[in-house]
């Protein structure tokens, strides 16, 4: 029997209608467009409506990826949702999404690895396809970060946004996902966290910045070395979109030209687990990403958690 691989067969995304610009934030906290843009590369972020949940956003993104694929919703065998902002503690966002998509014969669950959640979910999807009789997996990152943000705290409220991105992973005879690495270290639990007393995000921004750059630079280098690849062999780096300065610092460490980076943080802000699938779909829709391109995905988040995926699109 020939070897089975997993591959992205389609992508989709959803961004809420409401846009909050840096200029809007100037009216809410003591900040300025220049301060935010110079330090983060963020211009604006989308903010979900009060009645719009992570399930609703995941549903819209899923419909798009299903439409763009050659399968029907009922062909989906498994749903993995990466989120830190579930609509309910239970049932999981994935099961609520299964219900909304009206898929009867399927299993579904959430994972929480903060901003690395989508990479964790892809890793799980890849292993299920390679080891089991599963053919089609819907993998989503969906976040309503606006509910975790203290809108009077200028240190954090300028950074985050809402949205959802989805991919359908199918089985293939040719390599799609080539390798995947994930990791975590709980020693850093208090540097970036939701404070259990306030239920709001708290962060030591400077420390997070430095560790994020070093960790993502290191795992990217290790992933390339493991596969005897040079940076020139990579067509696109699609990193977690937290801050354009973090992304540029990683690119510099890797000697990767900026033309090979998909950058959406300017328009989306940090959408946590949704940021990478949103960026992938953006790259597909803008015509940048082509079939057979070699892509390196990378993420870093609270925990700390981190991960990378090397794949052929
Ligand atoms: N507008 C204006 N001033 C602000 C501000 C804002 N929105 N937020 C913070 N400041 C102030 C601070 O209060 C501080 O003032 P002080 O010196 O009087 O105390 C000053 O700006 C410098 O703050 P500092 O934290 O040193 O700035 P920085 O250059 O490190 O930038 C971040 C702050 C948050 C943009 C940066 O640390 C960062 O991006 N970190 C990574 C965050 C991240 O991406 N997290 C998610 C990873 S998944």
- Tens digit of pLDDT for each residue in 113-155? 999 999 999 999 999 999 877 899 999 999 999 999 999 999 9
Residue 102's φ and ψ, nearest 5 degrees, are 60, 45
Atom 31 of ligand 1, residue of closest alpha carbon: 39
pLDDT digits (tens, 9 = 90+) for 7-23: 999 999 999 999 999 99
**How far is Cα 221 from Cα 294, in angstroms, rounded to an integer?**
15
Q: Is the CB of 216 under 6 A from ligand 1?
A: no
Taking Cα atoms as reference points, which of 291, 312, 308, 123 lies closest to residue 233? 312
Contact 299, 118 (CB under 8 A): yes
Handedness of CA 220, 223, 225, 230 (dihedral sign): negative
**How far is Cα 143 from Cα 48, in angstroms, rounded to an integer?**
9
**pLDDT value of residue 93:** 98
Q: Please, what are the domains in the chain?
A: 5-172 (3.40.47.10), 177-312 (3.40.47.10)
Tokens of 99: 């219900």
Closest atom, ligand 1, to C-alpha of 301: 48
The catalytic residue positions are 115, 240, 270
Tokens 């404070």 belong to residue: 195
**pLDDT value of residue 238:** 97
Residues in the chain predicted with pLDDT less than 70, given as ranges, are 1-2
**How far is Cα 104 from Cα 255, in angstroms, rounded to an integer?**
48
Pairing label, strands 305-312, 294-301? antiparallel
**pLDDT value of residue 1:** 59
Q: Is the CB of 271 under 6 A from ligand 1?
A: no
Q: Is the CB of 37 under 6 A from ligand 1?
A: no
**How far is Cα 215 from Cα 213, in angstroms, rounded to an integer?**
6
Residues facing 19 on adjacent strands: 46
């Amino acid at each position: 029997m020939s070897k089975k691989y997993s591959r992205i067969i389609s992508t989709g995304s959803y961004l809420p209608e409401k846009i909050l610009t840096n200029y809007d934030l100037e009216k809410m906290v003591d900040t300025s467009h220049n301060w935010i843009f110079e330090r983060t590369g963020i211009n604006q972020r989308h903010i979900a409506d009060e009645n719009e949940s992570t399930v609703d956003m995941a549903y819209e993104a899923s419909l798009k990826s299903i439409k763009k694929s050659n399968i029907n919703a009922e062909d989906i065998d498994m749903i993995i949702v990466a989120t830190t902002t579930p609509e309910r503690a239970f049932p999981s966002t994935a099961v609520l999404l299964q219900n909304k998509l009206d898929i009867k014969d399927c299993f579904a669950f959430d994972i929480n690895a903060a901003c690395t959640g989508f990479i964790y979910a892809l890793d799980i999807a890849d292993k299920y396809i390679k080891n089991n009789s599963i053919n089609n997996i819907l993998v989503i990152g969906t976040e309503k970060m606006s509910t975790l943000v203290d809108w009077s705290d200028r240190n954090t409220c300028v950074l985050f946004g809402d949205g959802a991105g989805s991919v359908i992973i199918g089985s293939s005879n040719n390599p799609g996902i080539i390798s995947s690495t994930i990791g975590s270290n709980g020693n850093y639990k208090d540097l970036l966290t939701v404070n259990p007393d306030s239920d709001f995000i708290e962060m030591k921004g400077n420390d997070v910045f430095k560790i994020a750059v070093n960790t993502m630079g290191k795992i990217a280098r290790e992933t390339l070395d493991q596969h005897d690849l040079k940076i020139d062999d990579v067509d696109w780096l699609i990193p977690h979109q937290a801050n354009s300065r973090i992304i540029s610092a990683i690119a510099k460490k890797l000697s990767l030209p900026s033309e090979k980076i998909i950058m959406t943080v300017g328009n989306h802000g940090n959408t946590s687990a949704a940021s990478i699938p949103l960026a992938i779909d953006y790259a597909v829709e803008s015509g940048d990403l082509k079939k057979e391109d070699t892509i390196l995905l990378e993420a870093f988040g609270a925990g700390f958690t981190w991960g990378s995926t090397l794949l052929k699109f």
